[in-house]
């Protein structure tokens, strides 16, 4: 039996990962804003500190792996860019920094962070915001979204996912992580039918944009299929997988960027 921490465990893809891990006999310390072992608000510094410490206490300082699935979507008007930034970027990197020693303690830990195919398919993501986030400067990132007006939440979403993906790839090859046996990788889903996507589809402007996006395989992804990929990335198949980004999006990324490789 292995011990995993999963954020965003109460819904969508995080919940599907938890279901698979517990069915396989593993222990999961769940983290979410409600209905979890560790109930915290990851949009606040205090919530992130609590999540870090309570998970460490629950797992006895040893983690076989972690899945960072908590996230807010880009639906306009619903979540301010600052909230998206705090949960999607700082709600991943601060927790992982706090859990590094516990992950190193098992010598072969696997971590999967939820990125998004918006990192490669969304135009105009401000590089200044991405750079600011990687320097830990949320305020500077927020300034870069202002000129986008109603599009600011979408830009905050895209930038948060680009930044978190770059953070994963940078840390993945650093000795503190890779030589400690920690395998840091990311999964980049396309449109997957979870409550997050349902909220966007319930917003007319957003629904139009989502439906006009090319998905060569057709339809939306199933959260369980994405969870199956995450489970694979938590197993020994990932021993030689370091800083990879696995795109599972029905072909959208390939449609836009077949030759961009
Ligand atoms: P979801 O809304 O079903 O689940 C997200 C979970 O995050 C929820 O349980 C929610 O309570 C939790 N969460 C949100 N804010 C929180 C906070 N402040 N503190 C603690 N927990 C919080 O969404 P999902 O579609 O399963 O998304 C999982 C991940 O996949 C997210 O990071 C999302 O950005 C990413 N993603 C989703 C899609 C998609 O189409 N569904 C596409 C690409 C990437």
State in Å: Cα 175 to ligand 1 middle.
Answer: 30
Task: Indicate whether 43 belongs to any domain.
Answer: yes
CB of 195 closer than 6 angstroms to any ligand 1 atom = yes
Adjacent-strand bridge partners of 113: 68, 186
* Confidence (pLDDT) at 74: 87
**Residue 103's domain spans which residues?**
3-248
Q: Is residue 3 a contact partner of residue 26, using CB atoms and an 8 Å limit?
A: yes
Closest C-alpha residue for ligand 1 atom 2: 196
pLDDT digits (tens, 9 = 90+) for 158-171: 999 999 999 999 99
Task: Indicate whether 258 belongs to any domain.
Answer: no
State in Å: Cα 246 to ligand 1 middle.
Answer: 18
Into how many domains does the chain fold?
1
Exposed, middle or buried by CB within 10 Å (0-12, 13-18, 19+), for 70? buried
* Confidence (pLDDT) at 169: 98
Q: What is the pTM of this model?
A: 0.98
Residue from 4, 89, 145, 157 carrying the catalytic annotation: 157
Task: Indicate whether 129 belongs to any domain.
Answer: yes
* Confidence (pLDDT) at 78: 55
Adjacent-strand bridge partners of 28: 4
CB of 35 closer than 6 angstroms to any ligand 1 atom = no
Segments of the chain scoring below 50 in pLDDT: none
What is the secondary structure of 61-124 as a DSSP string?
T--SEEEE-------TTTS-HHHHHIIIIIHHHHHHHHHHHHHHTTSS-EEEEE--THHHHSTT
Domain of 44: which CATH number? Answer: 3.40.50.720
State in Å: Cα 70 to ligand 1 middle.
Answer: 4
CB of 197 closer than 6 angstroms to any ligand 1 atom = yes
CB of 41 closer than 6 angstroms to any ligand 1 atom = yes
Q: Which of 35, 51, 71 to mutate to test the pocket of ligand 1 (most atoms within 8 A of CB)?
A: 71
Report the nearest atom of ligand 1 relative to the CA of 157. 34
* Confidence (pLDDT) at 20: 98
Task: Indicate whether 168 belongs to any domain.
Answer: yes
Adjacent-strand bridge partners of 3: 27
* Confidence (pLDDT) at 203: 86
Q: Which of 196, 203, 226 to mutate to test the pocket of ligand 1 (most atoms within 8 A of CB)?
A: 196
Closest C-alpha residue for ligand 1 atom 26: 12
DSSP category for residue 153: H
* Confidence (pLDDT) at 227: 98
Catalytic, 220? Answer no
Task: Indicate whether 255 belongs to any domain.
Answer: no
Task: Indicate whether 213 belongs to any domain.
Answer: yes
Model ipTM value:
0.99
pLDDT digits (tens, 9 = 90+) for 67-86: 999 999 987 765 689 999 99
DSSP category for residue 173: T
Task: Indicate whether 253 belongs to any domain.
Answer: no
Task: Indicate whether 256 belongs to any domain.
Answer: no
DSSP H or E run through 186:
strand 183-189
């Amino acid at each position: 039996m292995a011990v995993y921490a999963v954020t965003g465990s109460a819904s969508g893809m995080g919940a599907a990962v938890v279901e698979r891990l517990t069915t396989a006999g593993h222990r999961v310390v769940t983290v979410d804003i409600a209905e979890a072992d560790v109930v915290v608000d990851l949009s606040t510094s205090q919530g992130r500190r609590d999540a870090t410490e309570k998970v460490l206490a629950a797992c006895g300082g040893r983690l076989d792996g972690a899945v960072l699935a908590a996230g807010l979507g880009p639906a306009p008007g619903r979540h301010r860019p600052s909230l998206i930034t705090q949960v999607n970027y700082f709600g991943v990197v601060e927790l992982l920094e706090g859990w590094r020693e516990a992950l190193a303690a098992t010598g072969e830990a696997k971590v999967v962070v939820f990125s998004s195919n918006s990192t490669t398919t969304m135009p105009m993501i401000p590089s200044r915001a991405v750079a600011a986030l990687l320097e830990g400067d949320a305020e500077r990132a927020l300034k870069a979204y202002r000129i986008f007006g109603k599009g600011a939440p979408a830009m905050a979403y895209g930038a948060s996912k680009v930044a978190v993906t770059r953070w994963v790839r940078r840390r993945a090859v650093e000795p503190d992580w890779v030589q400690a046996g920690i395998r840091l990788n990311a999964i980049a889903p396309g449109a997957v039918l979870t409550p997050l996507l349902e909220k966007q589809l319930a917003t007319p402007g957003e629904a139009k944009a989502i439906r006009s996006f090319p998905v060569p395989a057709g339809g939306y992804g199933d959260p369980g299929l994405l969870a199956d990929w995450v489970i694979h990335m938590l197993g020994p198949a990932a021993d030689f997988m370091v800083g990879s980004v696995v795109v599972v999006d029905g072909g959208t990324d390939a449609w836009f960027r077949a030759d961009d490789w």
